[in-house]
Structure 1
């Protein structure tokens, strides 16, 4: 349907405003003066864990090899000298000039408290410094030299995000800006995908090992449609986790009805209650096969484990 020029212009104006609003939410505002730096968290979902004081707390641990891994995977850092400095409090403060944090929430006027914490000698509590961050995507800067730190700090310990309520959720981005004398390559955190290149085609070809044969699952679906007794087993992952820790009504396989719902359907964990990653790691492989043999399920639903 054609439209007149004023209507067309108004539509284009609205589209531009919507586009700018989206850009404002996903891009950090007011970034720090141009210093070399790299991301260690990028659009990471954070949600508060309930606490007695009603505040939702979400820790992101950066001790051990965690911060080094974040620097490699998120920031693209492969300089071994820089990675080694991230392992200790002394090296971190020598390397890092400031920490930039931006948070996007469901509403832009909420406030999240960000804390950078270190651990002390022999794992004791170390120094901690915090700052308030609005959830509108504005980048807030914690300059390391402007904070009080303890000489007894040993290692970086955590990024802590404190949300007003446990039910609040947001996405957080953390970037480490470097002191003078240190440089890192500028990495585009979200480069465009080159769909038309041979490399992309080869990657897609490698991603498909087998298209499989769906005749057996069609047979089970027909069995369900016919209302015949059917046993479906669940193995591994969150769907069966805590099967014995919580009441059966709270277990995922009990709380959510089978779909399609068929009379005579019998969901089971094949006698492998609480088959989470940790539980399965402690079980001999033979227990899984013997449990499946005992129940003779028509179909086995496997979660990634």
Structure 2
């Protein structure tokens, strides 16, 4: 009989820092019946994760995380653990590097198969042969054999010799009933404004009549960072709080229309389709584009146009302006606030609520850390979404407690509604040229537009899809599109004669290699080149083609560039004003 084999020498202890620590995950259902959780690490997310989760401040180490080459110099190995309520099951972990030429197919995949029991598995970078196309750390994927598994994941990076990691900092438990927490929530009330329309909706709900809350915005409104996305997002939680507080018969209805990566430039075009669908008549509309509008070509005209469009609806819904925030404490509050000031609208600032206490030390007045609020650099986690919902509910409570008519309302013999009406009939503070904008696609026609699709005769089915309302199933965005599929080389491009004042083109962005660029001409003059790889991920991109003061006839022609004639390009639709 022989004894047990001698154990291996213990591995050298290495410094490490977390990029994910007890991060909530949820296996979103796939077509094949499996589940998957994506955690994106590109576009500065990995660096931000190292900063807010790993407390990394070393500039050299943060810079190394920008590229695969630097990542390999810094990182010795990766420690991964996944924990669910089914520890006997196995999950597949993939840390995917993005390629420079082939974004999704050209990079190295660092993989591990591990039990869902919380035990850590190590991935050694030295075990891999890296590809020539490796470019930047891209995304983490966690794959489950069955869908809708909930759990937590932790990922820490063990460092190569010569690099040091900061000490871990433990967060305090968040007391959401404390005086300090309540004070933080109260700071979010940027302006109570004219509460008349919100108060009217609350009274209607208390009387047992049907009331509808609608939320429109970008990925935060879609629910990004919430696990699961359909019930833990701020919009759903806000709707629930409103219903529990002001409803007598569960008579509150919910509309969620958030689309990731899209600004008010697209929001104003899709508002009728996504919010007013099937003759919906929302009583309160929350508008959240404060972190999405940096690329808005009109610098706020689209935003104010959307606000006025909603305020002028015949049934007079209330509008709430919600200013969310990124992990670098940034939003566009200063640009967009004047819109709320002019129309005396209720405004809620998440930035004003949470960022002042982020700079405080643990135990010295800090209520929660950035790691406890944010899922990544752009999106809140479940706690963050809860805080956003609490901030909105604080506004609703303040409106409910407000006097029926504020002091000074009748100074000039006008009611609150008459004052707002007068503001809406006057000049805009930024601009309102697009408040009467309409969507044009294969389904939504316009008598003033004559279209010859030419080689754009196909329909693209691979579209950005989002979870609408309280549903977990996804709805494709702009399914009634025109696609050039790369096979109609001899056919002419897309041509349209349209009578309008302004025109926005909505086209599909993508990170795939089989899509190409298209040139856009207006009245036979080159206007722009639409490049689906500029943003390099699957979403809807709205761009302004022209903007005039009078409606007249224009000729629009869109043709795939000569070098990309065998590639795809998709026109998702247009937005036009007349």
Give the structure-2-normalised TM-score: 0.37
Alpha-carbon distance change, 230 to 304 in structure 1, aligned in 2, over 3 angstroms = farther
**Whose RCO is larger (CA < 8 A, sep 6+)?**
1
Choose the corresponding residue for 1:260, options 247, 250, 264: 247
Higher helix share: 1
For residue 117 of structure 1, report the CA deviation from its aligned partner.
1.8
- Determine whether 1:208 maps to 2:186: yes
Q: Does 1:68 align with 2:68?
A: no
Does the Cα contact within 8 Å between 2:101 and 2:133 map onto a contact in 1?
Answer: no
Deviates more, 1:94-103 or 1:140-149: 140-149
Please state if 1:109 is matched with 2:88.
yes
User: Which of these residues, 109, 113, 126, is aligned with residue 132 of structure 1?
Assistant: 113
Pairwise CA RMSD: 4.3
Distance in 2 (CA, whole Å) between partners of 1:135 and 1:36 is 25
Per-residue deviation, 1:110:
1.3
Match of 1:42 among 21, 26, 29: 21
Classify the secondary structure of the residue corresponding to 2:158. Answer: strand
CA distance in 2, matches of 1:148, 1:285: 52
SS at match of 2:88: coil
State the partner residue of 2:72: 93
| Alignment-derived partner of residue 29 in structure 1 | none
Give the match for residue 150 of structure 1: 131
Q: Is structure 2 residue 172 aligned with structure 1 residue 192? A: yes
Helix, strand or coil: the match of 1:84? helix
Which deviations, in whole Å up to 9, do the C-alpha atoms of 1:110-161 show, x marking residues without a partner?
1111112222333441121311111111011101112332244222222211
- How far apart in 2 are the matches of 1:173 and 1:232? 39
Contact 2:16 2:156 in 1 (8 A): yes
| Cα distance in 2 for residues equivalent to 1:70 and 1:110 | 28
- Residue 141 of structure 2 aligns with which residue? 160
CA distance in 1, matches of 2:107, 2:149: 28
Bigger mean CA offset, 42-51 vs 70-79: 42-51
Is the 8 Å Cα contact of residues 100 and 139 (structure 1) preserved in structure 2?
A: yes
Q: CA 1:36/1:204 → structure 2, altered by over 3 Å: closer, same or farther? A: farther
The answer on whether the counterparts of 1:102 and 1:173 sit within 8 Å (CA) in structure 2 is yes
Contact kept, 8 Å, 2:206 with 2:248, in 1: the verdict is no
Quickly say closer, same or farther: Cα 1:299–1:55, change in 2 above 3 A: same
> How far apart are the structure 2 equivalents of 1:194 and 1:262?
32
**Would you say the 8 A contact 1:232–1:301 is kept in 2?**
no
State the match for 1:236 in structure 2. 216
Q: Judge conservation of contact 1:230–1:266 (CA < 8 Å) in 2.
A: yes
For normalisation by structure 1, the TM-score amounts to 0.66
Match of 1:64, SS? Answer: coil
Matched, 1:84 2:49: no
Residue 286 of structure 1 is matched in structure 2 by 305
Q: Report the number of matched residues.
A: 255
* C-alpha contact (below 8 Å) 2:311/2:318 kept by paired residues: no
Aligned partners of 2:307 and 2:319 also within 8 Å: no
**In the TM superposition, what is the alpha-carbon distance from 1:166 to its structure 2 partner?**
1.9
* CA deviation map 1:47-102 (0-9, x unaligned): 22333433222222222312111111211111110011111111111110110011
CA contact (8 A) 2:34 2:144 kept: yes
From 113, 118, 136, the counterpart of 2:97? 118
Q: Is the 8 A contact 1:49 1:58 kept in 2?
A: yes
Question: Residues 218 and 165 (structure 1 numbering): CA distance in 2 closer, same or farther, change over 3 Å?
Answer: same
**Against the structure 1 CA distance between its residues 104 and 123, is the aligned structure 2 distance closer, same or farther, given a 3 Å change threshold?**
same
